[in-house]
Amino acid sequence: MIDILVLGSGPAGYTAAIYGSRAGRNVHLITGPQRGGQLTITSTVENYPGFADPIGGLELMEQMHQQAINNGVTIVEDVVEKVNFSNKPFQCFGSKLYEARTIVIATGASAKWLGIPGEEEYRGRGVSACATCDGFFFRNRHVAVIGGGNTAVEEALYLTNFAAKVTLIHRRDTLRAENILQRRLKENSKVSVIWNTKTLEVCGDEQKVTHLKLINSENVPSELAVDGVFVAIGHQPATSIFKNELELDENGYIKAQDTKTSVPGIFAAGDACAPRYKQAVVAAAAGCVAALEADEFLAVHE
């Protein structure tokens, strides 16, 4: 019998697995479709504690992977496609059935992308979906932010701490962001807005982004020279399989209080339940809490 089954292999998942195993529990971690999660497509990480020099996102996650193995975690390369949390033990269905006394959900969330030419090609080389992750690399540069909601305006304002110029590109003539954010945007001299315009293509020199191809609502094409592009049209939590098993909010994120979900014995950590910060260190900390909560739950019910 698995004591703690961890779903997901990002910072939250690996940390939960490590702490659970060190507590003497039988821990299995199911990696999901992308082992290492979103950090594997982050070229450089400079703000994760304990690394004096920059480290590649993929390398960081490989180290977490090996650390989990070293601590006795059983890692399974599989994807869970269905769950049953009404049964005891809890059931997860992938290529086979997994049964566990407690579960830590760390399936994360992924950025929504535009799906335009060049976007994937230059991801990590000028295209990003996280200003707090990558804004530092665009000091004194010109960057574009694509979107019109709270996320886009917050990203644009954050980027003014580093970039020389920030251009917000929005397909409509009004923003959906809160009024206070819109006011701050208008008052910031580093920010300009291009209205009623869609981004058609991300262009570069095969090494980095150089410009964007745009078209406005009157079908007039144009180009905008930029050094970086931040896509800020929202995130999608990987929680669809929990829809009828756990309480989710209106955006699909798992409702959790100190990692405890609506079902006793099921815990959640990371971007699947906490969309605000999207930082590896925050996810890892939550993974630790989830493992400690799971261990306490097991102790009480033993």
3, 78, 92, 133: the catalytic one is 133
3, 78, 130, 288: the catalytic one is 130
To 5 degrees, how large is the angle CA 196–CA 234–CA 130? 100
User: Is 273 a known active-site residue?
Assistant: no
Other C-beta atoms closer than 10 Å to the C-beta of 35 total 18
User: Which stretches within 50-207 are classed as H helix?
Assistant: 57-70, 131-134, 150-159, 179-187
Amino acid letter at 230?
A: F
Q: Residue by residue, what is the 3-state secondary structure of 269-282?
A: CHHHCCCCCCCHHH
Task: Kindly write down the DSSP assignment for every residue of 190-212, as one continuous string.
Answer: TEEEE-SEEEEEEEESSSSEEEE
Q: Are the beta carbons of 90 and 107 closer than 8 angstroms? A: no
Q: Which residues of 38-48 are buried (b: 16+ CB within 10 A; e: fewer)?
A: bbbbbeebeeb
56 Cβ neighbours under 8 A, 6+ residues apart: 42, 43, 44, 45
Other C-beta atoms closer than 10 Å to the C-beta of 238 total 22
Amino acid letter at 248?
A: L
234 Cβ neighbours under 8 A, 6+ residues apart: 111, 112, 147, 149, 151
User: Is 133 a known active-site residue?
Assistant: yes
3, 78, 134, 271: the catalytic one is 134
User: Is 288 a known active-site residue?
Assistant: no
Q: Which residues form the catalytic set?
A: 130, 133-134
